[in-house]
Structure 1
Amino acid sequence: MYGKIELELGEEVYVEVFDDFLHDWLTVVKTPAPLVSRDVYCTLKQYTQEAGFDCGERIVSDEG
């Protein structure tokens, strides 16, 4: 899953902003549970599995 995100964003953008974005997004999604930075990817994996996004569904919609 992360490979697709890295390819779409490009390595430079991914390194500069994605980790911070992912931390903030998961903090909002998982509120009120506090999120420690080192747990970001484990939390994302758990969230995507629980929400069914690991089965080809999109996490973020193009509609908005």
Structure 2
Amino acid sequence: MIDCEKEFTWYAARGTFITKMIDDYVHPIAVAKIAGNSPKTIYKYYWEQTDNEGIMRKMNQLKPA
């Protein structure tokens, strides 16, 4: 379906989904709820794989003045 020559496991797909959601500025607590993890797990294992600077810039833009 995705035209990938390598085997793509459910575990890899799940991790990619979680990382992509964080990259798309979905709050890590919401991601944890969707993925069935704790927020601590999301921060520990997935936050470091993302564009942290870009995410922080976007979050600061969303902050009320």
Is the TM-score greater than 0.5? no
Greater share of helix residues, 1 or 2? 1
Report the TM-score, using the length of structure 2 for normalisation.
Answer: 0.31
Report the TM-score, using the length of structure 1 for normalisation.
Answer: 0.32
Q: Whose radius of gyration is greater, 1 or 2?
A: 2
Kindly indicate whether structure 1 or structure 2 has the higher relative contact order, using CA contacts under 8 Å at least 6 residues apart.
Answer: 2
